[in-house]
Chains A and B, each alone.
Chain A
Amino acid sequence: MEAVRITAVVPGPIAMPRGAIAVDALLMATRARVDGLPPVEIGGFQKIEIPIVVEPSRRFHLASFSLGGVEAHDRHWINRRFPVEQAQTIGSRKIKRLQISAGPAKSYRLPFEVGYLVGSKLEWYVLGDAEKIQALLDHVSFIGKKRSVGKGEVERWTVERSETWEGFPVVKDGRALRPLPVDWPGLVDPQLDYRTVGCVGAPYWDHAREELCAVP
């Protein structure tokens, strides 16, 4: 295992409504995709091995969250329209009346924010096996939310050896680079919030497991 820096070049818009992207979760999701596992909402959470070191108490991987700023924002929309035309042509005769202003056939147009990254890139620092990480990331061509409609397209991944520092790869200059237990060594005056500390045992979005953490 070695100190590794991962860089994703994302020239276009990227949607990150929950903030930084966790590379350990990304690699686990990729492993699940490659192995054809059912969606976690249906098949349940399964422990997936990834080539990143897990910290001694086995709560989280030694990997930072994504680092990189956003220099411009844009507003995109999620639209849903009930297929009225199809209801009129191929729908059952039992469909007598469609309520499109309320209820299940309601149409909506929701705004969501996309960002353009400073230098068009995101970076992560991890302790892991660079070659195996690269092999998994080769399957990832979109990151963030709304990937299905082309947001977060990755032009290329770079996985390379990195210099290290005190607290590598989760603390730098006393600042948490990912959600960490509040007593994690090296933190200086940490900012606290309720988050899921790791995804070794469950996904980050399992809010029932949120606890007070030092956050980036």
Chain B
Amino acid sequence: METVKYEFLLEAAEPVAHHAESLGNEAILMRRKVRLRDGAIANIPCITGDTMRHGMREAAAYAMLDAAGVPEGGLSEAALRLLFAGGMVTGSNDGAIRLEEFREMCDLIPTMALFGGCARNRVIPGRLRVSDGTLVCRETWHCLPPWARSWCGSAADEAPSSVESQRLYVEEVQRVRMDPTLDPGKRKLLSAAGRDGAENRLLASEAASADGDARGKEGAKSSAMPRRFERLIQGSLFYWRVEADVYSDLDRDTLNVAVASFLYSARVGGKRGTGHGLLRAVAAQHATLARAADRGQALDTEGLASSAGTLFRAHVAERSERIRKFLSNIDA
């Protein structure tokens, strides 16, 4: 067994809107506690390991389906659940997975061995450990490895002046879902009945405003919806680490496929349809660990992408018939 570790510095090519919850109509960024150098604890925005791991799982699943030639419309609900959400313990009466079935499953679906999941009534542990994306800022500076600090401008314990407090990386913006009936031009597109209804509502709203009738105003208000959200600014840097136990060249290649396919177009968080969440790798380190303290070597992320997957694709393509059969019968 070898433990392969990849570490990345990711740059937000677009603002990142990875939210934990909404308070009223304001979405709050996902944060996690970090112990500062002086012992105090602060809440710092992050991208959760779950998000990054799910992105890798999804990218690897698409790569596997592509290599196996599984046609669109060829996946059952259980197969979708297994490949894209890790499956579930179904409580099926078919009994536990036997060792030879487990080995066959890992052979047919190499991503399953890496990510783990649930099939039939067993949880299959994965071999992949994915850390949170840690925002590079003054508060997390002491948590960064030396190579990442050097890349950011200083290997010293104190952050360089170019690295700011986390507060400066968070901005608050507002978006509004407009009410098309407020636009006279668009009202002309309405049916006669619809136009009458919209105009009557506007008149009622105006009258209620003039009379100071709060209840009437509430009843006649438009459907425009302003909402605010926090986001991490474009250009923010994140330190991210992926580690996996590999037992064969195929395992290693599967890991490379998962990492490279995810990073090819890594998007995290919400509002992806409106220019949020795109990450790109700007620096990386690679290490095969014999000891946890071993130092890594610089990794060419483009080189990783171009060399990854040769073995994986050949392995999956060779077994494509069996994979399709397996996926059509899986209980997960």
- B-binding residues in A (CB < 8 A): 11-13, 33-36, 38-39, 41-43, 72, 74, 76-83, 86-87, 89-95, 98, 104-105, 116, 120, 138-142, 147-151, 153-154, 156-157
CB <8 Å contact, A104 and B88: yes
A203 to chain B, nearest CB (A): 13
Q: Across the interface, which residues of B come within 8 angstroms of A35, CB to CB?
A: 1
Q: Across the interface, which residues of A come within 8 angstroms of B241, CB to CB?
A: 150
Which residue of the partner chain, among A33, A87, A138, contacts B80 with CB atoms under 8 Å? Answer: A87
Q: Across the interface, which residues of A come within 8 angstroms of B90, CB to CB?
A: 104
- With A42-B96, A92-B76, A150-B130 given, is the CB distance from A156 to B81 under 8 Å? no
CB <8 Å contact, B128 and A72: no
CB <8 Å contact, B53 and A148: yes
25 contacts across the A-B interface (CB closer than 8 A): A11-B35, A12-B143, A13-B32, A36-B247, A41-B96, A42-B99, A72-B35, A82-B81, A86-B80, A86-B84, A87-B77, A90-B74, A92-B75, A116-B41, A139-B292, A140-B292, A141-B129, A148-B49, A148-B130, A149-B129, A149-B132, A150-B129, A153-B131, A156-B292, A157-B292
Say if the beta carbon of B293 comes within 8 Å of chain A: yes
Q: Across the interface, which residues of B come within 8 angstroms of A139, CB to CB?
A: 1, 3, 289, 292
Say if the beta carbon of B125 comes within 8 Å of chain A: yes
Q: Across the interface, which residues of B come within 8 angstroms of A156, CB to CB?
A: 292-293
Q: Across the interface, which residues of B come within 8 angstroms of A93, CB to CB?
A: 73
Top 3 A-B pairs ranked by shortest CB distance? A149-B49, A150-B49, A150-B131
Cα-based distance from A141 to B6 in the complex (angstroms): 13
Q: Across the interface, which residues of A come within 8 angstroms of B126, CB to CB?
A: 148
Q: Across the interface, which residues of A come within 8 angstroms of B245, CB to CB?
A: 33
Within 8 A of A (CB), among B44-70: 48-50, 53, 58, 65, 70
- With A39-B124, A104-B90 given, is the CB distance from A138 to B290 under 8 Å? yes
CB <8 Å contact, B99 and A74: no
B145 to chain A, nearest CB (A): 10
Q: Across the interface, which residues of A come within 8 angstroms of B75, CB to CB?
A: 86, 90-92
Q: Across the interface, which residues of A come within 8 angstroms of B32, CB to CB?
A: 13, 74, 76
CB <8 Å contact, B80 and A72: no
Considering residues B49, B76, B80, B102, which has the most beta carbons from chain A within 10 angstroms of its beta carbon?
B80
Within 8 A of A (CB), among B170-189: none
The tally of residues in B whose CB lies under 8 Å from a CB in A reads 56
Cα-based distance from A33 to B72 in the complex (angstroms): 37
Q: Across the interface, which residues of B come within 8 angstroms of A33, CB to CB?
A: 1, 245
Which residue of the partner chain, among A76, A83, A120, A140, contacts B84 with CB atoms under 8 Å? Answer: A83
A16 to chain B, nearest CB (A): 16
- With A38-B99, A79-B50 given, is the CB distance from A116 to B33 under 8 Å? yes
Say if the beta carbon of B116 comes within 8 Å of chain A: yes
Cα-based distance from A86 to B61 in the complex (angstroms): 11
Considering residues A38, A39, A80, which has the most beta carbons from chain B within 10 angstroms of its beta carbon?
A39
Q: Across the interface, which residues of A come within 8 angstroms of B290, CB to CB?
A: 138
Cα-based distance from A147 to B291 in the complex (angstroms): 18
Cα-based distance from A19 to B314 in the complex (angstroms): 45
B30 to chain A, nearest CB (A): 9
Q: Across the interface, which residues of A come within 8 angstroms of B76, CB to CB?
A: 91-92, 94-95
CB <8 Å contact, B292 and A138: yes
Cα-based distance from A150 to B238 in the complex (angstroms): 15
Cα-based distance from A36 to B1 in the complex (angstroms): 7
Say if the beta carbon of B85 comes within 8 Å of chain A: yes
CB <8 Å contact, A104 and B131: no
- With A104-B81, A139-B3, A156-B293 given, is the CB distance from A72 to B33 under 8 Å? yes
Q: Across the interface, which residues of A come within 8 angstroms of B131, CB to CB?
A: 150, 153
